[in-house]
């Protein structure tokens, strides 16, 4: 149903809420139930069907205070996401890396705006609103997950968006088509234009990119690992 890749790892969940990770050419099921899972420099995090937040500590899912419907660990050791009211939040490095349970410090930062999906990379965060408009937030880092305090509108329409560990940006529109943002960089996080990637046109519902691999989930829930894009 949903997949996330980062720092060389692959995690996903199916329609039953079962959690899986990829080892070599096979899937291994993890304990617990989630509707959204993410992996990145901040570790492995997820949210349940009740919007409760969890971090994988060792082999255990540890509950984290707060509520999110979608979460992303692709930032520079910080996590971000959106709640059921489409309010975006982020949690800085000082809270993510050392979090191990109830006695750990916690300081979620609410970000002004309204987004249904929010994803971060090494130098920028991207989001899409309920009406599929696209925004980018610059100058985010491990010490300032809020970035420069501004949303820059980006031309285009997408229903979900993911930022790779190298800053690459991919997204899917309502029609099930995949797009890549061209020429993103630390100096120009917003890039220049969108390129349609002719993969399973009209059939895609979710993508995630890491280390030259674009992982694709189709509307029929089959999974593909695509290279040489």
Give the span between the Cα atoms of 229 and 227, in whole angstroms. Answer: 5
Alpha helical stretches, state H, the chain: 93-96
Cα distances from 24 to residues 9, 35, 43, 221, in angstroms, run 10, 24, 20, 20
Yes or no: say if 121 and 106 are a contact pair by the CB < 8 Å rule: no
Q: What is the model's pLDDT at position 100?
A: 83
Q: What is the model's pLDDT at position 103?
A: 76
Q: What is the model's pLDDT at position 98?
A: 82
Cα distances from 161 to residues 25, 61, 96, 131, 183, in angstroms, run 26, 26, 22, 13, 16
CA 7-220-162 angle, 5° bins: 30
Yes or no: say if 36 and 47 are a contact pair by the CB < 8 Å rule: yes
Q: What is the model's pLDDT at position 229?
A: 74
Could you tell me the mean pLDDT of each successive run of 10 residues in the chain, 229 residues long? 96 97 94 98 97 95 96 96 98 90 84 97 97 97 94 98 95 98 96 96 97 96 91
Kindly list the structural domains of the chain, giving each domain's residue range(s) and its CATH number in brackets, ordered by start.
2-226 (2.130.10.30)
Write the burial class of residue 39 (CB in 10 Å: 0-12 exposed, 13-18 middle, 19+ buried). buried
Yes or no: say if 20 and 9 are a contact pair by the CB < 8 Å rule: no
Give the span between the Cα atoms of 136 and 194, in whole angstroms. Answer: 14
């Amino acid at each position: 149903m949903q997949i996330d890749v980062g720092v060389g790892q692959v995690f996903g969940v199916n329609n039953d809420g079962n959690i899986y990770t990829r080892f070599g050419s096979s899937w291994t099921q993890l304990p617990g139930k989630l509707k959204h899972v993410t992996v990145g420099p901040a570790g492995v995090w997820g949210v349940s069907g009740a919007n409760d937040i969890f971090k994988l500590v060792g082999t255990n899912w540890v509950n984290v205070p707060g509520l999110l419907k979608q979460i992303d660990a692709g930032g520079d050791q910080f996590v971000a996401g959106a709640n059921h009211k489409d309010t975006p939040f982020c949690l800085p490095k000082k809270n993510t890396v050392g979090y191990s349970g109830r006695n750990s410090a916690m300081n979620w930062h609410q970000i002004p705006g309204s987004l249904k999906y929010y994803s971060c990379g090494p130098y920028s965060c991207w989001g899409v609103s309920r009406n599929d408009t696209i925004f980018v937030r610059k100058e985010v880092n491990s010490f300032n997950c809020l970035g420069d305090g501004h949303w820059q509108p980006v031309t285009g329409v997408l229903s979900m968006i993911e930022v790779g560990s190298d800053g690459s940006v991919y997204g899917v529109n309502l029609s099930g088509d995949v797009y890549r943002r061209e020429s993103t960089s630390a100096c120009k996080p917003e890039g220049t234009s969108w390129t349609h990637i002719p993969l399973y046109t009209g059939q895609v519902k979710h993508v995630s990119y890491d280390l030259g691999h674009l992982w694709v989930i189709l509307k029929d829930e089959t999974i593909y690992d695509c290279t040489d894009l």
